[in-house]
Structure 1
Amino acid sequence: MPRRALDNPLVLSILGLLLERPMHPYDVLGELRRRSESQAAAITRGSVYDVVAALSTAGWITETARLRQGNRPERTVYALTPSGREELVRRLDDRIRHPERDFTPFLGAIAYLGALGPAGAADALSERARRLGERTIADEQRLAEVLGQDLPRLYVIEAEYAIHQARAELAWIGSVLEEIRTGRLTWPTTGTADG
């Protein structure tokens, strides 16, 4: 199995889920999608199965059972091994201690906000704030529902973090919109939609 499969961001998530309980890769996929709806489109069945195969080859997970229901294909259930738990702890500790700069598409776009001109920038930021606000409300409702199902808060703390990030972004957008409206954020006379 290529080493790059063990560098996949899903490794951490899959090891974490298997820390909670043994699972079949299909169950892992469903749980990842349920807990991370904002990233669900990026999580494919093939990528989960590839990472599971790599984790098994590395000795970080092991088969615990093979189950068959009706005419469905046999499903292999995996559990975390002691070395898998050690790897999970090592990776978690490293990622939590060392902040990395994430280069998001929004960060790349906001760097050239001036090209939209004041009116275009205000319009685009207002639309983003509206959509982000709606998504944040939906995320808060989903989180409350999940927590209402007796799922420990610690298991979905990443969703709580994402909501706080969204709220911070909304506050920042609000302050930039206010600066555009009052003229405190100035535009050059050339290189913009208005210039």
Structure 2
Amino acid sequence: MSLQIFILGILCEGHRHPYDIKKMFKQESLAPEIRITDGTLYYHFEALTKRKFVEKMTTSREENRPERTLYGITELGREALVEMIYKSFRNFKEVSDLYPCILFIHHVSRERVIGMLEDCIEVMNKKIRRYEKIWNEVPPESNDHPIVLNAKNLQEHAMNRAKTDLEWLERVLERTRSN
């Protein structure tokens, strides 16, 4: 999941401290498999600041706590968010790569993203057809070989995952069309 898309998307909703964004990311279970360290988070805030996508709004300190800097998104950052979302759709490989894009899909052109979702669906259909072709080419006499039997288990998992991803993309497309 692109942490920069998540940061920019959240900042489109209002000013935030990096730590608040980290808590949101983890509390909402948006990507529980992804570990976000403070170093990673602050690295991305620094990179976004250098590119003038975000800016420091205020800095405050409460008692014995470290300084807290409130960030906001710039107009350049809003434009970058849109382009990052489109780029993620264009470079589609895995459904999980689209998670931040789906969260902030309301920031992009509905018509354009519908076409991009249709392209992602075609990529998944091609992947499924490729899996089917590979397994249809396995000679029947090799079906009893242990490696082939184990490979079929892997293929079954990959095929089921691809079909589940395809169904999910189709639902996202339908919801996007109806909104």
TM-score range, shorter chain: 0.5 to 0.7
Query: 1:35 touches 1:156 (CA, 8 Å); kept in 2?
Result: no
Report the equivalent of 1:142: none
Q: Does 1:14 align with 2:7?
A: yes
**Distance in 1, Cα, partners of 2:29 & 2:80:** 22
Query: Of 46, 53, 64, which aligns to 1:53?
Result: 46
Offset of 1:11 from its aligned partner?
0.8
Match of 2:93 in 1: 101
Aligned to 1:62, the other structure's residue is in SS state strand
Distance 2:40 2:104 in 1: 22
- Once the two structures are superposed, the pairs formed by residues 68-107 of structure 1 within 5 Å of their partners are 68-96=61-89, 98=90, 100-102=92-94
Deviation at 1:30, TM superposition (A): 0.7
Give aligned pairs, total. Answer: 113
2:24 maps to what in 1? 31
Q: CA deviation at 1:94?
A: 3.0
- Amino acid paired to 1:101: K
Q: Deviations over 1:48-106 (max 9, x none)?
A: 1100010011110000011212210111110001100110011123334x2612299xx
Q: CA RMSD in A?
A: 3.5
Q: Secondary structure at the match of 2:45?
A: helix
Q: 1:64 to 1:103 in 2, by over 3 A?
A: closer
* Equivalent residue letter for 1:189: D
Distance 1:29 1:192 in 2: 44
What is the DSSP-based 3-state SS (H/G/I as helix, E as strand, rest coil) of the residue aligned with 2:43? helix
Q: Percent identity?
A: 29
Task: Give unmatched runs, 5+ long, in structure 1.
Answer: 1-7, 105-153, 158-186
Separation (CA, whole Å) in 2 of partners of 1:10 and 1:53: 13
Q: Which amino acid aligns with 2:28?
A: R
